[in-house]
Structure 1
């Protein structure tokens, strides 16, 4: 047996393609080895169904399920209505596991094929325990570098067709987020707590998968690169995994042998007792022979008791050694997880700093935009007042509430800022005052007065435009 890293990958898909182009159609067609979806395989061969229905039947079951499903939605007026299943709803749950022995080596010997078949059977048993009757199909592929299997799980009894709810890690995430919101946390904190629960449940699933599938098959929990193991350390760990699997098999075989030995011993004692009884019943046999038989029976019973005690002690020692090895392995895993958590925390702090800097820049940009808008409004007001003095801005004789602005640019700027309604009363007062004053002045006096009145307004306009300090 060859050992290597072992884990199971669980993922959901919708009929709409995800960011890498995967969808329900793409996943099932690739599994069925449809030509358009199997270009990555040099010599595609049909998959082997080892549990449930073929992959083509999975597609039919999925489509019928979606066609009959519905989701209740709340309309704007408060009423509820039934809607069909959206294309972006995740409606298929898959599990993928790869056997870490090349396909060429598996097919090279009956022993390797038997080991791979045992691995497949343990996978099916684990999947059935996890998903029950929602598990509709398990298939295997042997036409790629490593043998692997695909499992398909459908939410057949759920009218909303939510495959994500079948994922134990996703369910834990939703429950954690709901509890966080109920405790008064905002959505950001709730999402963080949900993701933490999701990762913890994911590790729990992988640990359970390793205990039920990987370890009995002599496979390791993770590979050497993830934990930065040297080649020698990785070889040592693989050898340990092989020894642990052998210990488990030997223990099972020895337990079977012990049971058989106890059954045989009981049968032997029963036969011997019958013989002694027959000898006692025969008056013509000597008392010495009977006593010898009794002594032999006692010796056999004592020997059987000693053998049973020795076997029990050996099994207990093996169990203790196994427990110590597992505890050491768990300690190593916890240390690696703590290191991963520390790195993740550093990355999160770095991202938080980046977000704070971005928010500060956004606030600065918003303040600059407000200041520029205020300066533009002030310039337009001053230019409108100046236009009232020189006649470029005046009320429409036919509609006194409407103002005529000769300068197209000034008119568009005033309209964009919606300033006329705000200052039209002030403009009316300025226009009426200037009209009354002009009627009492000669043309030359009007020009001088206009220049005198307009001078501070022009100076303010120039300052707004940056022409003067």
Structure 2
């Protein structure tokens, strides 16, 4: 964004304080060598874990109390989920929100406080990968085999954290989880599905704008009628009100036409949204059928090879 807005604090120390605490911890951090000697941590060691959670509704659509309340519910659940990455380790955790991009989102900045400040130990994927590699080496596996098992453990851990996020944050907020499963959608399928979703979102937004236009027309009509009556009574003549009403008759007729057109647009856009939903369902059914056909063409050896290369099915 050309003119970014300041981040909005959600929880944890302020950013300036977190920066200062991180600098002090890094200065005092020490790691233990294989010979048992303590030394300063390396300059390139990772000492910060960052995480982002994005809300799947555009900022432009958060223009009413209902949408704002839904967003606040998601924000509370997502912040609690992000804090779980830090709390078991006693790490510092600052969470801020950004509202200056298309979609609102949260940033979590997590700093380890243990003596060696190993940020990788806070990362679910890295932590499981390193633990699995250590177990493999202790069991006498070759470095290659231990590394292979570590990569598989990484995949399992990352899928598990995604499952946990959906269960604790996405599902309670009514958010769908798409494009998951053994097979991966091709780029063309993803773009087609995205186009359907974008068309649906645009139809919903346009429908809401038409409803707002209709409501404004209703309010304007009421204001004009009230002003006409007030002027007529202020003059003290019955005819004064009739003259004033006649003077605004054209405006009232125009507003009625605007209201009628807005109602038509609402009906058309609602039908477009319904049609886009049908299209999305049909596309997902087609994708499911294609996945089944593709899976049927693979030999067990090919399926096992793909599972190893892409880390699924483990």
Q: Deviations over 1:306-349 (max 9, x none)?
A: xxxxxxxxxxxxxxxxxxxxxxxxxx8xx89x97x967934978
The residue aligned with 2:84 is 129
Task: Report whether the alignment pairs 1:162 with 2:106.
Answer: no
C-alpha distance in 1 between matches for 2:168 and 2:149: 29
Contact 2:46 2:120 in 1 (8 A): yes
Aligned match for 1:68, one of 25, 28, 50: 28
- SS in structure 2 at match of 1:90: coil
Structure 2 unaligned blocks of 5 or more: 202-287, 296-300, 310-314
Q: Which has the larger radius of gyration?
A: 1
- Pairing of 1:290-301 with structure 2 (within 5 A): none
Residues 49, 140 of structure 1: 8 Å contact kept:
yes
Partner of 1:139: 96
User: In structure 2, what is the Cα distance between the partners aligned to 1:60 and 1:344?
Assistant: 50
Rounded Cα–Cα distance in structure 1 between residues aligned with 2:14 and 2:302: 45
Gaps of 5+ in 1: 1-40, 240-331, 350-469
* Corresponding residue of 2:66: 111
Q: Distance in 1 between matches of 2:66 and 2:137?
A: 55
Cα distance, 1:343–1:53 mapped onto 2, change above 3 Å: farther
Alignment CA distance shift 1:232-1:88 (3 Å) = closer
1:103 deviation in Å?
1.4
**d(CA) in 2 for partners of 1:151, 1:124:** 8
CA contact under 8 A between 1:128 and 1:135: conserved in structure 2? no
Any idea what the Cα deviations from partners look like across 1:25-44, whole Å, max 9, x if unmatched? xxxxxxxxxxxxxxxx2221
What does residue 147 of structure 2 align with?
A: 191
- Indicate if the aligned counterparts of 2:128 and 2:154 stay in contact, CA closer than 8 A: yes
Aligned residues of 1:99 and 1:146 also touching (Cα < 8 A) = yes
TM-score of the aligned structures, taking structure 2 as reference length:
0.58
- Tell me if the contact between 2:26 and 2:117 (Cα under 8 Å) persists in the aligned partners: yes
Output the CA distance in 2 between the equivalents of 1:184 and 1:95. Answer: 35
| TM-score, normalised with respect to structure 1 | 0.40
Aligned residue number for residue 88 of structure 1: 44
Alignment of structure 1 residues 3-402 onto 2, 5 Å: 41-74=1-34, 80-106=36-62, 108-132=63-87, 133-156=90-113, 158-222=114-178, 227=185, 228=189, 231=193, 345-346=305-306
CA drift at 1:102: 1.2
Q: Distance in 2 between matches of 1:57 and 1:70?
A: 22
CA contact (8 A) 1:176 1:193 kept: yes
Distance 2:178 2:112 in 1: 31
Shift of the 342–54 alpha-carbon distance from structure 1 to 2, 3 Å rule, reads farther
Q: Is the 8 A contact 2:86 2:93 kept in 1?
A: no
- Aligned CA-pair RMSD: 3.3
Q: Deviation at 1:92?
A: 0.5
Shift in CA distance, 234/204, structure 1 to aligned 2, threshold 3 Å: farther
Structure 1 residues 380-414: Cα deviation after superposition (integer angstroms, max 9, x where no partner) = xxxxxxxxxxxxxxxxxxxxxxxxxxxxxxxxxxx
Contact 2:97 2:107 in 1 (8 A): yes
1:126: how far off?
1.6
Report the Cα offset of residue 46 of structure 1. Answer: 0.3
**1:164 touches 1:170 (CA, 8 Å); kept in 2?**
yes
- Equivalent pairs counted in the alignment come to 205
